[in-house]
A = this chain, B = another copy of it.
Amino acid sequence: MSPATGRIPPDVASLADYERHALQRLDAARVAWLQGGAADGLTVQANQRAWQGLPLQPRVLRPLAHGHTRIERPGLRLPHPIMLAPVAYLRLVHPDGELATAMAAAAQGAGLVLSTQASVPMERVAELVLGEAERGPLWFQLYAMAQREHTLQLVQRAEAAGFEALVLTVDAPVQGARDAERRAGFRLPADVRAVNLQGLALPGMAAADAAAPGLAAGLCGGLLAHAPTWSDIAWLKAHTRLPLWLKGITHPLDAQQAQALGVDGLIVSNHGGRVLDTMPATAALLPAVRQAVGPEWPVLVDGGIRRGTDVLKALALGADAVLVGRPHVHALAVAGALGVAHAIRLLRDEFEIALALTGCATPAEVSSAVLSSAVLTSAERGG
């Protein structure tokens, strides 16, 4: 049995506490895999700091009765604006893996985006989640496969299992060269695999398992030739009855292109800083994307969300909801399903408090007015 027996340590008061405990429990290679970002990890840091750096402006004595946290938009109905981002191979940190995470998400009303590299069968996840009364939506994440028929097999399996939308990750035509993993010699153990991709092949996938220093010469050439393009989006849209979201859009023109092709929504993401280092924080990228697609089209954001105040700020900058990635893995590693449920609850409670303190009774009342325009002096930013 795993040491993660489902007990919540008594000193856990925030997501950062789960991270601290998780880093103590996981071995160095798993830590490198989970925490590492591309190259020097600058974008990983930027993501969190960007939310922290946005100042909030409270309002006092406003009527808050009849408040709630629901998101109710065409194409997106959520009990609260917190969803779980896709993370591969969750059995690396807990024997129950994605099953524990899915149970916790359903119990806490959090939407779940299952990774295409999940370490349990997608059908088992769907069975667990779909019967829950208070659950959030259940979506399936995928990459464009090297061969379209492989993509189609995945899509049809997800449709049959009951997934409610597809999330195509488009920001990683190549596997990011994550130095931390390579330094730590990270390799998947024999009993943890991307079970839903058996017999299929991702472009450049081999690189993920390669611990050899340097990338093989052929990889880059091959990659340039096989990366998906906008025509693959149109094709995929035509071959599924599910709503299609794109994950990893950050340029306003790319957002408009997606909208024009009938995509159903998008996720502003820099892949948690794991793909291209020195990308801006998603908080810095979000406003221009929202501006480009208009106020009605669904836009989510992930990257660096660690506090309820971060969730509030994401809404203030134009997101309809947020996804959290590494934090749910930290909680899973520490206390299994109970930990994940608790982590979601902590974040949601913090969000409710932030909502109330900025004078908003519901998410629909959140606007850029909750952000302060008070000019901070230079020294506040210094050391």
Contacts and interface: CB of A to CB of B under 8 A. Distances in A.
Interface of A: 8, 10-14, 16-17, 39-40, 42, 46, 49-50, 52-67, 170-171, 173-174, 176-177, 179-180, 182-185, 213-215, 217, 219-220, 223-225, 227-230, 232-233, 246, 248-251, 253-254, 257, 270, 275-281, 283-285, 288, 307, 309, 342, 345-346, 349-350, 352-354, 356-358, 361, 372, 374-383
B353 A62 contact: no
Contacts of A66: 224-225
B67 A356 contact: no
Given A12-B213, A285-B374, A65 B352 contact: no
Most-contacted residue by chain B among A42, A170, A171 (CB, 10 A)? A42
B379 A53 contact: yes
A238 to B, nearest CB: 16
A336 to B, nearest CB: 15
Contacts of A39: 14, 307, 309, 350
Q: Give the number of copies in the complex.
A: 4
A334 to B, nearest CB: 12
Contact of A383 (B55, B249, B278, B383): B383
A23 to B, nearest CB: 16
A49 B214 contact: no
Given A40-B52, A171-B58, A173-B64, A284 B356 contact: no
A57 to B, nearest CB: 6
Considering residues A230, A278, A380, which has the most beta carbons from chain B within 10 angstroms of its beta carbon?
Answer: A380
A41 to B, nearest CB: 11
Contacts of A288: 374
Contacts of A278: 52-56, 309
B224 A361 contact: yes
A173 B357 contact: yes
A284 B250 contact: no
A54 B379 contact: yes
A382 B379 contact: no
Contacts of A223: 64, 356
Contacts of A50: 376-377, 379-380
A283 B374 CA distance: 9
Contacts of A279: 55-58, 372
A65 B53 CA distance: 40
A-B pairs with the 5 shortest C-beta distances?
A53-B379, A53-B377, A13-B179, A284-B374, A13-B182
B251 A220 contact: no
A8 B251 contact: no
Given A232-B61, A381-B381, A357 B174 contact: yes
B381 A183 contact: no
7 contacts: A14-B39, A50-B376, A59-B254, A220-B352, A277-B309, A281-B377, A376-B378
A373 to B, nearest CB: 8
Given A50-B379, A54-B278, A62-B229, 7 more contacts: A54-B377, A171-B357, A220-B356, A280-B372, A281-B376, A283-B377, A378-B381
